[in-house]
Structure 1
């Protein structure tokens, strides 16, 4: 009999603990909301958020644009930097494959040439 009552108490405890997490979800009610633009009608039984008509086809503010240096960079410069992402093997400045050192030298020479041109020097070897 003691074993049966212990089993019943354990089963009751299991039922109570599994029922507790669902109580807050049941207490919350779902209120339908919708964003309407301009003079569009608001459906019944719905809470509507009114926005101006000129916002109808705009990208949401949280997704609109980049700020800072990324937005100021020219797309050509960004494309040039993406050119080297994932590069491996010959002429890639990568420890993988033969010829990786050649790619590192080529990159070093290119950067030196760009710095020299920025200073106004025209002497040097073109690669």
Structure 2
């Protein structure tokens, strides 16, 4: 590796005073992030703590968070035949005779393909 790069050294030089000041002052201040619902009160900070409250309506208390709720950009119902086709296509690379590096049976497909190619070339030579 050698010497540290100049940019890395500059970043260390600029951030070191802040790190030492935090240690001198008794460490970093603790920050608490909390979500409160309805008319709940935010907890009071203790000492140098910082409390950040997000207020949500009471009816949201036991709901699944919006980021995890069911997506609405896809169709509500997909035919079972279509689902089956998608699953089979995804699993095809792991099946025997697939000639793939994925799965335990993939190498047999490559050998089978080579044998089929050899047999087709042999038939073509005999047909001439």
Name the TM-score, length of structure 1 as normaliser: 0.43
Greater RCO structure (CA 8 Å; 6+ sep):
2
Name the TM-score, length of structure 2 as normaliser: 0.43
